[in-house]
Structure 1
Amino acid sequence: MAFTYFFRDMSALIAVRDHVIRNLRNYRHIRVWDAGCAMGPEPYSLAIIFREALGYYGFKKVEIFATDLDEENRRFGQIMAKGIYPEKSIKRIPREIKDKYFMKVGHELFQVSDELRRSIIFEKHDLRSFRPVRSDFSLVVCKNVLLHFKEEERVKVIKMFYQSLMSNGFLVMEQTQQLPRQVEDLFDHIVQNVQLFQKVPVKEGMTNASAH
């Protein structure tokens, strides 16, 4: 399982704040799937972005499903849910954000706030099962994972993401990962220089052949 830093991809997080949350803020429920969450900094970074944008009450409607496949650690969910990280992993976080959402719990160790930890559900999940953890997601984030997959596997996974998203839902991928041509018609690329896409809804009475 890979390790990532908090606020690692600021351009993507800013795009989520400025484009995704702006479109979702009036929804009654906001469900996010971070597919390939590694050791947890990415879903917690997303949680901070949503909390800062929506405020205390608005953030209560946010639910983040953070999944990864760690065959060596059967206590994956429990470890991630504790939200304890070394100081070096939060070095990119602005001081005011660090003071607001992290508490020192040991020598060079910090724990994510209860509020953020309650918003995230950690689960083991194999993307190669090609089955989503649930449906009706507002946003799917998948970075630094699909580059390890074969082309046909990437296509199947992205089709799965499409099916798991609500109408007009959003998909974020890493900068180096382009949409395979087989699924280009499933999404609109909505932010230049960031791999942020919006689901193209199927028109009533029609089916999108690329999604199957």
Structure 2
Amino acid sequence: MAFTYFFRDLHTLELICNHAIPELWSKPTIKIWDAGCAMGPEPYTLAMLLRERLDQGGFERVKIQATDIDGSDLFDQIICQAEYPREQVQRIPAEIFEKYFIKVENRDFYRLNDEIRGAVSFQKHNLLTLRSIGNDFGLIVCKNVLLHFNEQERIDVLRMFHDSLMDGGYLAMEQTQKLPAELADQFEAVVSNAQIYQKRCQ
């Protein structure tokens, strides 16, 4: 399970929201796949950022499917319940924290509210099976996993992501992970200061 924390790489996440959401707004459902979600801070952060930008009706159309290979009890005990200890939520901006988190009674834990929790679903999944969890995603975020794969594995996984995206869908990766040359004709860079790409229409 990769290490991550709430609001990590906020620059990239905000760029994703600014570029992808206006394009996806017309879709009946805004389908997002967060691949390699670790303990859940990234998909929940994305959900909070989207809620800040969308009205209630718009946010109800957001469906984030988060996956990770981890098989420990933490996946069910912490991620799905969206309960995190104080030290893991301290760096969250105060106005966001106060709006979306609730103190857990008799424990030094904080739980995300039902609206944010309801936008995110989790499942265990191994990217190296190259079996997608679905299709027609408007956005795929994979920011903590690809660096652990060799070059051919990265290419194969990114091809699977390409096939899982709708035409014009978006892919966001870790800043250090450049798009392999083998896939340059399948994606178009969206910005120059982050690894965000748009699938070229067929």
Q: Distance in 1 between matches of 2:70 and 2:145?
A: 13
Q: Distance in 2 between matches of 1:108 and 1:191?
A: 40
Q: Distance in 1 between matches of 2:8 and 2:147?
A: 18
Structure 2 counterpart of 1:137: 137
Going from structure 1 to structure 2, the CA distance change for 1:157 and 1:6 (only over 3 Å counts) comes to same
Structure 2 counterpart of 1:89: 88
Query: Which TM-score applies when normalising by structure 2?
Result: 0.95
Q: Kindly state the Cα deviation for residue 22 of structure 1 after the two structures are TM-superposed.
A: 1.8
* 1:31-67 per-position Cα deviation (integer Å, ceiling 9, x unaligned): 0000000000000001011111112111000100000
- Given that residues 77 and 123 in structure 1 are in contact (C-alpha distance below 8 angstroms), is that contact kept between their aligned partners in structure 2? no
Structure 1 counterpart of 2:196: 196
Runs of at least 4 residues of structure 1 off by over 6 A?
none
Q: Kindly state the Cα deviation for residue 18 of structure 1 after the two structures are TM-superposed.
A: 1.1
Q: Kindly state the Cα deviation for residue 3 of structure 1 after the two structures are TM-superposed.
A: 3.1
Q: Which moved more, 1:164-173 or 1:24-33?
A: 24-33
1:37 and 2:37 matched: yes
1:17 and 2:17 matched: yes
Matched pairs, number: 201
Structure 2 counterpart of 1:206: none
Q: Kindly state the Cα deviation for residue 75 of structure 1 after the two structures are TM-superposed.
A: 6.6
Q: Kindly state the Cα deviation for residue 174 of structure 1 after the two structures are TM-superposed.
A: 0.3
Q: Unaligned stretches of 5+ in structure 1?
A: 203-212
- Given that residues 147 and 177 in structure 2 are in contact (C-alpha distance below 8 angstroms), is that contact kept between their aligned partners in structure 1? yes
- Given that residues 77 and 124 in structure 1 are in contact (C-alpha distance below 8 angstroms), is that contact kept between their aligned partners in structure 2? no
Q: Distance in 2 between matches of 1:77 and 1:29?
A: 26
Q: Distance in 2 between matches of 1:155 and 1:184?
A: 11
Going from structure 1 to structure 2, the CA distance change for 1:97 and 1:75 (only over 3 Å counts) comes to closer
Structure 2 counterpart of 1:98: 97
1:75-86 paired onto structure 2 within 5 Å: 76-77=75-76, 79-86=78-85
Structure 2 counterpart of 1:116: 116
